[in-house]
Structure 1
Amino acid sequence: MPIGTFALAMVMTALSVWAIERVEDQRREGQARAAASVVATALDRRAHSYVSYLRAGSLMLGTRKDPTREDFESIAGGLLDDADYHGALGIGWLPVLKPAQIPAFEKRMNTAGQEGYTVHPAPDPASRMVVPVGFIADMNERNRPTLGFDTYSEPKRRAVIDQAIARRQLTASGPVSLIMQTRAGEWQGFLLFMPVYGPGQTDLPRGFISAPFNAGAFLSSIVVLEKIEDLEVRLYDGAMESSRLIARTGAQGASMHPVATQALTLGGRRLLVAVDAPEGGLTRTAWVALMLGTTIALLLAVVARIVSRRAEQDREALLWLREQASIRASLTRELNHRVKNTLANVLSLIALTKRRATGLDEFVEGLQGRIRALSATHDLLTNSEWGPTALRDVVLAEVAPYTRGDDAAVALSGPDVDLAPNDALSLGLALHELATNASKYGSLSVATGRVDVSWAMVGEGVVQVHWQESDGPPVPALRSRGFGTDLIEKIVAHELGHGVQLDFAVTGVRCTLMVPVRAPVAFSIRARQQNGQGKGK
């Protein structure tokens, strides 16, 4: 019961923790979906606002055949002053030239104040066109190396320029390194190319207004502005693949898993915003529920253990009481049986003594002696708790009054044999009659007389007891039959279940008794009682 109680309580605790975590997962999923929608909307709003500026600049630059630096900066200045365009690295003018036009263009740029301006890398004379970086509105040390760089020479930029020419509208690139000299993965971003056409131009544009975006800064500005916390936000170019990852920000970790995505389109290119919720293990509420549930489960198990132990002790006590009651009932029945047997023996002794006695004194003397014999044997049985009683002790109890110290008139010999209580009573009664007769008329009536009592096992479960008198007065051939003879040959023989051989020889009385030796479990009520108590306790 304690184990089952603990297991049931822990199952309920686990279900509670699972339910709490399930609710928390749903909350995180909802938070992620809301964040994905907010980020995608903000990115789309910012990007299209920037696109609007690029389109306006394209229209204004389209009216100038060879725009000067002043023309470009007057158009780009408004865009760069707008604080809503975090992540944009500036805006540039990229003219479209033929390879043969490069020397004149370089000379014009140097004359306009951009000393040392050269187009690089050196183009192939057979190249379709050259698209160098002419002006950059936000000129700094980071952007300066890009002046004169032929964007058409780099495969990714060339692909998006060709696409912009084919579409004749603003086009976004895929993931590119914004600074060519940087290590792979640094300054990752994307470019917007807006073709600028003059009046009547249908082939190649005059040039491009280009805007590079640092994808990480662009995305981070949105996350910070929208206060998106404890979430990882990633920006992909089209598909959600590691090779097409543009930027990522927020709580990054190995335990992230995609929760919500939101797509947007910029410059004809599909971008994908993915928001992940961190799996930081169990929540505080779940931990509290787990610890509280475990504590309650342990307490319930302890209580169940106490209750089950108490119930077990009660069952054991009840069983012991039942066994004790059974033992008392058995003892009562046994005592009743023994009392009845004793009373029956006393009544028989009284009846036989009365018939054989010639006077009151003889009646009283004979009856007292026989009752004392029963009492002596009863004392032996009481000392042995009515269990097995030694045959030697029974003999000694009956002949003890007739022994004389070291010069004993009675000799005993035989192995150690234990008798059942009823058999001991019967044997004691027979020996009393023999000893009484010997003390009155036989060997024990004279100083020189002697009695030998010996016994030996004569078979399985039977011991033979032999009484032999010697050196006493001669036994008369003609003698009346007394009470002792009837007692031994009738009552004792009946109780022992074997015949008695009684011989009144001239040299002394001889008597042979066959006494059964029973196994203790067949007659020992105390043995059963002790076993019952041991089991109950």
Structure 2
Amino acid sequence: MNGSDPKELASLDWVLIFAPYRKDASYTVSLLEEHDIRGQAATGAGLAEMLAESPGAIVVTHEALNADVIATIAKFLRDQPNWSETPIIVLVDRAASSARIQAALSVAWPRSRQTFYQRPVAALALISGVQAALLTRFRQRELRDYLERERELRLELNHRVKNILASVISIFEMTRRGTATIEDLSNDFRGRLTALSNVHSTVFLAGGEEVSLGAAVNSTLAPYRSDNASGIHIDGPEVLVSRNAATTLALCLHELATNAIKYGALSQPNGHVLLKWELSSDADPLLMISWIEIGGPPVVEPSRVGYGTRYIRSALNGLFGESPKLIFAPHGLRCSIHGLVSRLCPKQ
């Protein structure tokens, strides 16, 4: 609302009018309505209740400002949120001491934006003042919304940083237990952090809480694929997964790719890997992912279960709700998993 159309501003808020004497209240309500501004007159007994409904601005006549009314408005101003400085328009008789009234109210109502008009005031001048007050209120609410978004972003950032640090600590501890030398620890830990970093970059560029599975896969496996030739062939339809699901899958794929380079198909010039995923046609579709190694050295099931295997089994079981199938076939390792897409991206 950069144009600040007075009618649009007036529709966002309403004006409380406290003018209990003569016909000031009814006249002011009628005048505001002629300019599409909603006004409501308050009585002395109902002033506190109407203030509690958070008017956009207050119009008050100075002769109505006895000690009780000043105290009631002061309490309302003290209780208002930090972003708020309620606009108050005070209508002062020409014969009254405007300077004295302004000085007294500036002390009594420190958290307000006060505007004073001497009566009789021209209708156009009063309407302009009310519109300016509503614009002020609108800007205050914009500031409130901005501060709330900032607070939510800080909380979200704090939450995500804690999760990332927890992931890093967990990766380090598991890597440390699975390596025998400092060099192995350094290389394995660096590789796993790189995989974590790559998928976080992909999710960030996606601009939301969901990311394409294909994008997450490609960013994770990019370090293992050259521009001219690649031992990893990727095939699968478009499907969105959550940030957490993408991170888990990325770390699992990193473990599989690292194992294939050290011991499996990617350790041989003619070896290659087929990574594919498929979706069933059900109303709540199943996602089936397969990692198939071909052309590597003969596979022998290891006598000791390493970190990578333990992580893949545990992480995929938590993500899909069932354990993956790891087959150490002589002609090549195979890993497959399937589960409901709704588990990987609850919004779908």
TM-score, scaled relative to structure 2: 0.59
Q: For 2:298 and 2:162, how far apart are their aligned partners in 1?
A: 40
Letter in 1 for 2:205: N
Q: For 2:204 and 2:169, how far apart are their aligned partners in 1?
A: 22
- Confirm or deny that 1:4 pairs with 2:30: yes
Q: For 1:431 and 1:425, how far apart are their aligned partners in 2?
A: 10
- Confirm or deny that 1:503 pairs with 2:332: no
Structure 1: tracts of 5 or more residues without a match = 9-298, 523-537
Q: How many residues align?
A: 234
Asked if 2 retains the 8 angstrom alpha-carbon contact of 1:398 and 1:435, the reply is: no
Aligned to 2:117: none
1:359-508, aligned counterparts within 5 Å?
359-458=181-280, 460=284, 462-495=286-319, 497-508=321-332
Aligned to 1:307: 129
- Confirm or deny that 1:518 pairs with 2:345: yes
Q: For 1:300 and 1:485, how far apart are their aligned partners in 2?
A: 82
1:84-163, aligned counterparts within 5 Å?
none
Q: CA deviation at 1:336?
A: 2.0
Asked if 2 retains the 8 angstrom alpha-carbon contact of 1:377 and 1:394, the reply is: yes
Asked if 2 retains the 8 angstrom alpha-carbon contact of 1:462 and 1:517, the reply is: no
Aligned to 1:231: none
Q: 1:448-497 deviations in whole A, cap 9, x for unaligned?
A: 11111111224526533221111111211344211101111123432555
Letter in 1 for 2:327: D
Structure 2: tracts of 5 or more residues without a match = 1-14, 16-27, 35-120
Aligned to 2:172: 350
Asked if 1 retains the 8 angstrom alpha-carbon contact of 2:210 and 2:345, the reply is: no
Asked if 1 retains the 8 angstrom alpha-carbon contact of 2:32 and 2:127, the reply is: no
Q: For 2:286 and 2:140, how far apart are their aligned partners in 1?
A: 42
- Please provide the CA RMSD for this pair: 3.0
Q: CA deviation at 1:517?
A: 3.9
Compare 452-461 and 467-476 and name the one that shifted more. 452-461
Q: Structure 1 residues 303, 428: CA separation in 2 closer, same or farther (over 3 Å shift)?
A: farther
Asked if 2 retains the 8 angstrom alpha-carbon contact of 1:5 and 1:300, the reply is: no
Q: 1:134-159 deviations in whole A, cap 9, x for unaligned?
A: xxxxxxxxxxxxxxxxxxxxxxxxxx
Q: For 1:312 and 1:464, how far apart are their aligned partners in 2?
A: 57
Q: For 2:328 and 2:137, how far apart are their aligned partners in 1?
A: 64
Structure with higher Rg: it is: 1
Q: For 1:306 and 1:480, how far apart are their aligned partners in 2?
A: 82
Asked if 2 retains the 8 angstrom alpha-carbon contact of 1:453 and 1:466, the reply is: yes
Q: Which runs of structure 1 show a deviation greater than 6 angstroms over 4 or more consecutive aligned residues?
A: none
| 3-state SS of paired residue (2:226) | coil
Q: Structure 1 residues 462, 332: CA separation in 2 closer, same or farther (over 3 Å shift)?
A: farther
1:281-300, aligned counterparts within 5 Å?
300=122
Q: Structure 1 residues 387, 316: CA separation in 2 closer, same or farther (over 3 Å shift)?
A: farther
Q: Structure 1 residues 338, 4: CA separation in 2 closer, same or farther (over 3 Å shift)?
A: same
Q: For 1:469 and 1:7, how far apart are their aligned partners in 2?
A: 77
Q: Structure 1 residues 313, 340: CA separation in 2 closer, same or farther (over 3 Å shift)?
A: same
Q: CA deviation at 1:506?
A: 1.8
Q: For 1:505 and 1:404, how far apart are their aligned partners in 2?
A: 27
Asked if 1 retains the 8 angstrom alpha-carbon contact of 2:264 and 2:293, the reply is: yes
**Larger RCO (CA within 8 A; separation ≥ 6):** 1
Q: 1:513-532 deviations in whole A, cap 9, x for unaligned?
A: 44634255x9xxxxxxxxxx
Q: CA deviation at 1:440?
A: 0.9
Q: For 1:371 and 1:7, how far apart are their aligned partners in 2?
A: 64
Q: 1:65-107 deviations in whole A, cap 9, x for unaligned?
A: xxxxxxxxxxxxxxxxxxxxxxxxxxxxxxxxxxxxxxxxxxx
Q: Structure 1 residues 519, 312: CA separation in 2 closer, same or farther (over 3 Å shift)?
A: farther
Aligned to 2:139: 317
TM-score, scaled relative to structure 1: 0.40
Q: Structure 1 residues 364, 323: CA separation in 2 closer, same or farther (over 3 Å shift)?
A: same
Q: 1:416-445 deviations in whole A, cap 9, x for unaligned?
A: 112211111111111111111111111111
Q: For 1:483 and 1:7, how far apart are their aligned partners in 2?
A: 73
Q: For 2:155 and 2:309, how far apart are their aligned partners in 1?
A: 32
Q: CA deviation at 1:499?
A: 3.1
| 3-state SS of paired residue (2:310) | helix
Q: CA deviation at 1:512?
A: 2.2
Aligned to 2:148: 326
Q: Structure 1 residues 6, 453: CA separation in 2 closer, same or farther (over 3 Å shift)?
A: closer
Aligned to 2:93: none
Q: Percent identity?
A: 31
